[in-house]
Chains A and B, each alone.
Chain A
Amino acid sequence: MRLPNKSALITGGTSGIGEATAMLFAREGAQIAITGRNEKRGHAVTAAILEAGGKAIFLRTDVRRAAECERAVNETVKAFGRLDILFNNAGIFYPHNAIECSEEEWDEQIDINLKGTFLMAKYALPGMIAQGGGVIINNSSGWGIVGGDKAVAYCASKGGVVLMTKAMAIDHGRRGIRVNCICPGDVDTPMLPADAKLRGLAWDEYMAGCANRPLGRVGTAAEIAKAVLFLASDDSSFMTGAALVVDGGGTAD
């Protein structure tokens, strides 16, 4: 097992990449706290882990709110005794250009994707430093490195995540904290059909566009989870401040 007796907190753990990572971490021996806004889905994920003999809790959390982030960290530590791994995964996407994007949509994407990552780290770091180390993994995007069409707020938020990752790596490396991010390309999660619908594109046409990359397909949530596991485990002990691109070659050209 790669994460024996580790305690991990995963935001946005109720579906997609967060859910796949929760399952993989549990298989690798970690105790899992997941957050999300959908209680029904959250309890379904924890139930699957508990039934298989693992340890998991669901914490209904809106990562836009500082008090809720602080509570999520405290509840995790209360349940498992410590927090070793924080995966800032909660994210939201509206496909709009600058003219179409409403101020409310801008705020929602920046607050969940970027500010939520700051808030969770803010409350997780003191305990990690006190215990002598910890790992933070932030979920950015290929569109945190290159721009994309109709994604102004998303690109801004994810670019922010990449550079905040590096800034946090510099600040806390000497205290044994590693901070890295992943930059997934299009991945088969509930975010894709939602995006296709909002863009008014037929599913087949939309997916053909997503698969147009060197590996000729979209990724699976399980493949992204394996990248997160690599960054969470001691296998990446000399990595911090890095952006791990997992996109089937989509940003190679």
Chain B
Amino acid sequence: MTLTPDHSRTLEGKSALVTGAASGIGRATSLLFAREGASVLLTDLNETAGRRVEREITEAGGRAMFEGADVTVSEDCRRIAQLAMEQFGGPQILLNNAGIMRRASVVELSEPDWDRVMDVNVKAIFLMSREVIPWMERAGGGSIINTASGWGLVGGPRAAAYCASKGAVVLLTKAMAIDHGPHRIRVNCICPGDTDTGMLRAEAGQLGEDERHFLDGAARRPLGRVGRPEEIAQAALYLASEASSFVTGAALVVDGGGLAGPM
């Protein structure tokens, strides 16, 4: 044996497609994937912020391209997948990360809000994956990572549509893992706990709570703090890379111990 560690970048030569790439976990993961050698096709509704992420990556010497899209629209998903193929080949890695939160009980929730949460958080995964999987099959494999949530495994207050959508993501992940494992496509999801992103801070507003008080509550977990987007990105990198070559159908909980049990 030799003790020489492998210094090559983890995703050298790979092509990745990231939805919801303009901010939060999607942005942090795109930056990390690019740093690890991947070419990253970024997409998001927010074009201004998306182009900023593209610039961050390219100015640091990485390869990235942003293209605006609404991933709840099938034509948009087809266009984005085609673009990823044309620009960078592949993709061998798909991070279905676009997501929204509506803090409301079923009584408070409007029907359009229900539909929007389900479309962005769940249907977009279906729409994007069905574009990408045939290419992955032909290329001999790939890794799909879906952003679920701790609230895809347990319920939470005033988050009915979000919990329903994220629970669906966890089981959609397992179903896809079963269907496409024989083609060497691995499908896993991440279940982050509260992470310091714009979405988390916006929740305080939706609940009519003071932001500081809300964030203090979010930090109440064994590690005593909320997560950083970069920490969730590391989990996505593990699932995207060959380091997880025997992992599929898994829900990787990254939550500072929030789901371990009541403290």
Contacts and interface: CB of A to CB of B under 8 A. Distances in A.
Partners in one complex: yes
Interface of A: 1-2, 23, 26-29, 48-49, 51-54, 165-167, 169-170, 172-174, 178, 185, 213-216, 219-220, 223-224, 226-227, 229-230, 235-249, 251-253
A238 B246 contact: no
B260 A236 contact: no
A91 B32 CA distance: 36
A227 B244 contact: yes
Given A213-B181, A244-B250, A246-B250, A23 B1 contact: yes
A61 B14 CA distance: 44
B190 to A, nearest CB: 10
11 contacts: A27-B1, A27-B5, A29-B5, A172-B222, A173-B221, A174-B223, A215-B182, A245-B247, A249-B174, A252-B174, A252-B178
Majority SS of interface residues in chain B? Answer: loop
B184 interface: yes
Contact of A223 (B174, B228, B245): B245
Contacts of A53: 3
A53 to B, nearest CB: 5
Contacts of A244: 247, 250, 252
A245 B248 CA distance: 8
A174 B193 CA distance: 16
Nearest to A24: B5
Contact of A236 (B181, B193, B234, B244): B234
B222 A173 contact: yes
B256 interface: yes
Contacts of B193: 238
Contact of B235 (A174, A219, A239): A239
B248 A27 contact: no
Contacts of A216: 181-182
B2 A241 contact: no
Nearest to A26: B3
Majority SS of interface residues in chain A? Answer: mixed
Interface residues of B, number: 48
Contacts of A166: 257, 260-261
Contacts of A169: 222, 257, 260
Nearest to A171: B222
B141 to A, nearest CB: 10
A240 B256 CA distance: 5
A236 B254 contact: yes
Nearest to B260: A241
B177 A214 contact: yes
Interface in B211-263: 221-224, 227-228, 231-232, 234-235, 237-238, 243-261, 263
A193 to B, nearest CB: 19
B238 A235 contact: yes
A173 B223 contact: yes
B102 interface: no
Nearest to A215: B181
Contact of B231 (A48, A54, A238): A238
A215 B245 CA distance: 9
A252 B222 contact: no
A249 B177 contact: yes
A240 B174 contact: no
Contacts of A242: 252-255, 260
A48 B1 CA distance: 7
For A49, A216, A248, A253, the residue with the greatest tally of chain B CB atoms inside 10 Å of its CB is A248
Given A215-B246, A236-B234, A174 B256 contact: no
B123 interface: no
A235 B223 contact: no
B4 interface: yes
B166 interface: no
A230 B243 contact: yes
Given A220-B246, A249-B248, A1 B5 contact: yes
B3 A245 contact: no
Interface string B72-106: 00000000000000000000000000000000000
Given A169-B260, A170-B263, A253 B3 contact: no
